[in-house]
């Protein structure tokens, strides 16, 4: 929905690694049919990236620096939608969210930082509702495939059974690719914040901490290897579950508990059956993919060939109160942390711009803000699939 601003979308952080991929996607997918601009701290670096990705030479450049709140506010005032890849967001994102909420500018990010998101909800939800700004966090691999995967399953269950599923299992069947350096940096910033504010632990540990004060039933333990009695395979903890599950429960709360107030959801990685599956699960549980020398630093990332060789596949298995079951899958044809994420956030910005008239303002999640319209965009444009398996 155009707000009669100078630009439809500003990609902030376009000179960084992930932001460059977003800008490249916008150029290749939409060209100048959408009035979008590239933003960052240095006009010179932005111009270099514009040339590097083959963007139209007329693509506007906007200088803004998270360390200069006035420049951030000026940037926000010029756009209908801010699409920001500049993280960790708890270090560099708060002024942007505040300005968007005040000025009525829509906003998407890649945040996997639940403590900061909890803070933003408390500080800016009311202002965003008043101004009409749709503030949507977690518009990348965390948490779009999971948040929209559960929505897709629940909508299919309603159509098939006339009821939603109070129990849903999210199971990562395949994931080939790297976590982003930004994800690793966000984890580091969260741990540092936890050291300064131990009360943050309660937010991080509570699966309902983003659910507007609602406290649902005890959730399944996803912290250690276990054999899934329904699927007959061993499971290992999934490192992104801590943020994804919170977003799914927030979506349920924002949609008036469409999945039920007794909704239970967990995410784990499938590692196979028998003793071999158990051994793999125990190995996965003993490692941290966001630590070590191989983790990219912010601003770095894998080659184009590596990104295109990646993929992911997630199974969602739902059970209704009457015992009926349904399985759906969600996946993508690029590595999750960079290639697919850059397309997901770009399409989220486009969905808010073009497909979300009538959606009220507030600090939202992707399911209530964009839902099936974003699923359609991701399937048509971004290399994702949403399939009913039976």
273 assigned to some structural domain: yes
Looking at the structure, do residues 85 and 16 belong to the same domain, yes or no?
A: yes
pLDDT tens for each residue of 62-81? 999 999 999 999 999 999 99
- What pLDDT is stored for residue 58 in this prediction? 94
Rounded distance, CA 360 to CA 286, Å?
43
Structural domains in the chain (count): 2
380 assigned to some structural domain: no
Looking at the structure, do residues 291 and 364 belong to the same domain, yes or no?
A: no
Q: Give the CATH number, domain containing residue 121.
A: 3.40.50.720
Looking at the structure, do residues 148 and 132 belong to the same domain, yes or no?
A: no
Asked if the model's pLDDT at residue 120 lies above 60, the reply is: yes
- What pLDDT is stored for residue 28 in this prediction? 97
CA–CA distances in Å: residue 330 to residues 1, 25, 123, 339, 359: 28, 21, 33, 16, 25
How confident is the prediction for the chain on average, in pLDDT? 93
User: β-strand 325-332 against 384-388: which pairing, if any?
Assistant: antiparallel
Strand, helix or coil at 43? helix
359 band by pLDDT with thresholds 50, 70 and 90: very high
Looking at the structure, do residues 170 and 98 belong to the same domain, yes or no?
A: no
pLDDT tens for each residue of 43-59? 999 999 999 999 999 99
386 assigned to some structural domain: no
| Token digits of residue 91 | 């270090």
Q: Quick count: other Cβ atoms within 10 Å of Cβ 52?
A: 12
- Element (H or E) spanning 127, and its range? helix 114-131
Q: What is the mean pLDDT of residues 161-186?
A: 86
Vertex 245, ends 249 and 384: CA angle to 5°? 105
pTM of the model: 0.95
Structural domain of 298: 144-335
- What pLDDT is stored for residue 305 in this prediction? 85
Contact criterion met (CB below 8 Å) for 311 and 332: yes
Looking at the structure, do residues 363 and 230 belong to the same domain, yes or no?
A: no
96 assigned to some structural domain: yes
pLDDT tens for each residue of 77-99? 999 999 999 999 999 999 999 99
Looking at the structure, do residues 230 and 125 belong to the same domain, yes or no?
A: no
Vertex 145, ends 226 and 141: CA angle to 5°? 95
Q: Shortest CA distance to 371 belongs to which of 348, 339, 346?
A: 348
Rounded distance, CA 205 to CA 209, Å?
8
Looking at the structure, do residues 151 and 57 belong to the same domain, yes or no?
A: no
Which DSSP state fits 97?
H
């Amino acid at each position: 929905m155009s707000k009669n601003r100078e630009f439809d979308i500003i990609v902030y952080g376009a000179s960084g690694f992930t932001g460059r991929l977003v800008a490249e996607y916008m150029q290749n997918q939409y060209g100048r049919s959408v009035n979008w601009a590239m933003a960052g701290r240095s006009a010179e670096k932005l111009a270099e990236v514009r040339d590097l990705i083959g963007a139209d030479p007329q693509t506007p450049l906007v200088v803004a620096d998270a360390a200069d709140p006035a420049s951030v506010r000026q940037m926000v005032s010029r756009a209908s939608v801010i699409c920001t890849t500049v993280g960790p967001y708890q270090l560099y994102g708060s002024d942007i969210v505040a300005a968007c909420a005040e000025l009525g500018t829509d906003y998407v990010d890649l945040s996997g930082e639940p403590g900061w998101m909890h803070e933003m909800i408390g500080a800016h939800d009311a202002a965003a509702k008043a101004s009409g700004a749709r503030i949507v966090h977690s518009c990348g691999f965390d948490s779009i495939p999971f948040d929209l995967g559960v929505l897709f399953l629940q909508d299919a269950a309603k159509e098939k059974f006339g009821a939603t599923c109070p129990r849903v299992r999210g199971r990562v069947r395949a994931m080939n690719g790297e976590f982003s350096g930004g994800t690793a940096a966000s984890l580091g910033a969260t741990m540092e914040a936890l050291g300064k504010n131990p009360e943050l632990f309660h937010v991080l540990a509570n699966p309902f901490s983003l659910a507007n004060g609602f406290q649902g039933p005890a959730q399944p333990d996803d912290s250690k290897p276990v054999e899934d009695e329904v699927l007959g395979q061993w499971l290992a903890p999934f490192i992104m579950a801590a943020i994804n599950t919170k977003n799914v429960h927030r979506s349920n709360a924002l949609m008036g508990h469409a999945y039920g107030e007794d909704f239970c959801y967990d995410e784990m990685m499938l590692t196979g059956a028998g003793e071999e599956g158990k051994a793999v699960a125990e190995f996965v549980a003993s490692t941290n993919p966001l630590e070590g020398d191989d983790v990219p630093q912010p601003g770095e990332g894998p080659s184009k060939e590596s990104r295109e060789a990646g993929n992911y596949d997630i199974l969602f298995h739902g059970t209704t109160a009457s015992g009926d079951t349904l399985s759906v899958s969600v996946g993508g044809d690029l590595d999750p942390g960079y290639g697919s994420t850059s397309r997901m956030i770009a399409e989220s910005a486009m969905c808010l711009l073009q497909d979300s008239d009538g959606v009220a303002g507030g600090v939202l999640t992707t399911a209530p803000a964009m839902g099936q319209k974003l699923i359609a965009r991701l399937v048509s444009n971004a290399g994702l699939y949403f399939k009913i398996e039976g």
